[in-house]
Amino acid sequence: MHTNLHKLQFNVQSNVNVVCKINDNGLHYDIIKITKNCNNDINLESTLKNVQDFINLELDFPKLHINNLNHSIFLAVIPKLKVIGYLEIDLLEKACVYQDNNKLSDNLVDVKFGVSKLWVMVNYRNSGVATKLLKQFHNEENFEINDIAFSYHGRRGFSFIKKYFANNSVLVY
């Protein structure tokens, strides 16, 4: 895994959309929103592919390619250095409730968005990076808590999701 750390380097020279600058207890990073306008930036596309490859390897996710028509992507980036956080959002219509008995509900509920990936580099976990990425997306879209679901990859991340939403009911897809 450590041999792939170079994939997290962020040396994009183009004008990226920095939507928020964070200074949290000495940790300085930018939250960058990847938009459709970035489609023609080969360097940025290459960086995103490398970051996704790293995340897929670390989390044992299937390889999925970026589709900027259906996703919003937010990166937490230490400027001119490396990506430390990643949030990928899908447009979504339906989800089910993950119940405490480790089962999914039979009934589907209406939602607007799905978090397909939320990842933070190990050294930066529990420092608020994931929370700030989600809050940035929430501030831009102004959605209700029951409008967002999370992709289901087993119970990984459920404690964070429940804490973030202050709710034991987690919507999944």
Print pLDDT tens along the chain (173 aa): 456 666 677 766 666 788 999 999 889 999 999 876 665 677 788 888 888 888 888 887 765 544 444 578 999 999 778 999 999 998 999 999 987 777 888 899 999 999 989 999 999 999 999 999 999 999 999 988 889 999 877 667 778 888 887 776 789 98
d(CA 171, CA 152): 9
pLDDT score recorded for residue 58: 84
Domain count, the chain: 1
What range defines the domain where residue 156 resides?
A: 2-172
Contacts made by residues 105-113, CB under 8 angstroms, sequence distance 24+: 109/146, 109/171, 111/146, 111/147, 111/148, 111/149, 111/171, 111/173, 112/141, 112/143, 112/147, 112/148, 113/89, 113/137, 113/141, 113/143, 113/147, 113/148, 113/149
pLDDT score recorded for residue 76: 95
pLDDT score recorded for residue 66: 45
- Tokens 């879209």 belong to 141
pTM: 0.87
pLDDT score recorded for residue 2: 53
- Give the CATH number of the domain where residue 91 resides: 3.40.630.30
